[in-house]
Amino acid sequence: MKSLPTLPLISRYAAEQPRFTLLDSVANRISLIVFCSVFSFLFMYIFLPFNINMWYEGQQLSLMALFFIFTLCGVLVLSISQFGLYRLKWRRRLTNATYLCWFVGEIVGIAVMVTIVDVILVDTFFLTWSEFINTLRYIALILPLPYCIALLWFFTREKMAQLRSLEKEQVIKTIADPCILIRDEHDKPVLTLHPGKLLLMKAEDNYVQVFYLSGNTISKELVRTSLKKLETYLSAGTFVRAHRSYLVNISKVVLFKKNSKGHYLELEGLSDISVPVSASCLTAFQERFAPTP
């Protein structure tokens, strides 16, 4: 029996995962290193975790000097990780999930560096496996907090920038495509709509029936005015006369078809209304919807 092709499936799954991009920026990587080093130094100096002050009693170096040296070890390892090894192609292809493994590697690297420096500076410490494991455990309890805070800040700042960009695009779109103010025969404002919400206007004696999209529903408004008057301040490229009694938003047309009675249109959300297309107005719709030979 043939084995299942698991490797291609795994590769495809990995390719579909979002790439880790929070540290693509040089400024973000520098900020990460600075914040983690300052946080870790102050945390050790102020709170003296794990009774660390008792480990170095009787040593020539002060606790502040030792903490500063340990912090420099972390800065060195993080700098190598974030700048020296960042050039690796596979490093830049890490996903949000696999970057966790990279972070664990950074913790292990810092633990190795601190253990070696600890053995060099302190006579009572020896380069043993248990010494390394203890150092690894302490670093794993201190470093993740500032690291995650920094990443959370980068993530929040990135999303805020995206939100501001969307808001700016929306403002530009609104300016470029202003709302339509529909007035009655006495120029009294009746209805204000975004052009994309206005679907159809149908003349009925001395009134015009305005069909528009309100949320997810189709609404109607009866306005005492003429279709000819409305046509004067609507965009000629978007709102096209289909018949002497119908003015349609051509971007909302979903069906243009010919039957025994002639041509007709159907608009988005108005499948129960067939809009006739008169012979005098037919050319505009044929140019837009008729298939090219």
Using the 3D structure, point to which of 167, 195, 225 is the last residue of a domain.
167
* Whether residues 207 and 242 fall in one domain: yes
Q: Is pLDDT of 190 > 50?
A: yes
Task: State whether 47 and 141 are in the same domain.
Answer: yes
3-state secondary structure of 271: strand
Q: Are 197 and 274 part of one and the same domain? A: yes
Give 100-118 pLDDT, tens digit per residue: 999 999 999 999 999 999 8
Q: Are residues 189 and 254 in the same domain?
A: yes
Element (H, E) at 233: none
Phi, psi of 104 (to 5 degrees): -60, -40
- Specify if 3 maps to a domain: no
Tokens of 292: 């090219």
DSSP-derived letter for residue 177 is S
Question: Within a domain: residue 239?
Answer: yes
In a domain, 116, yes or no: yes
Same domain, 145 and 184: no
Final residue of a structural domain among 167, 196, 227: 167
One domain for residues 101 and 127: yes
Q: What is the pTM of this model?
A: 0.58
Whether 169 shows a pLDDT value over 80: the answer reads: no
Tell me, yes or no, whether 193 and 246 share the same domain: yes
> Is a pLDDT exceeding 60 seen at residue 250?
yes
Bridge-based pairing of strands 253-259 and 262-267 is: antiparallel
Question: Which residues in 137-174 are b (16+ Cβ under 10 Å) and which e?
Answer: ebbeebbeebbeebbeebeeeeeeeeeeeeeeeeeeee
Q: By residue range, what is the domain housing residue 266?
A: 180-289
Final residue belonging to a domain, choices 125, 146, 167: 167
What's the number of domains the chain is made of?
A: 2
140, 66: one domain: yes
Q: What is the pLDDT of residue 7?
A: 43
CATH number for position 280: 2.40.50.1020
Q: Say whether both 151 and 196 belong to one domain.
A: no
Q: What is the mean pLDDT of the chain?
A: 85
Does some domain include residue 36? yes
Per-residue pLDDT, averaged over 116-134, amounts to: 89
With 90 as the cut, is the pLDDT of residue 33 above it? yes
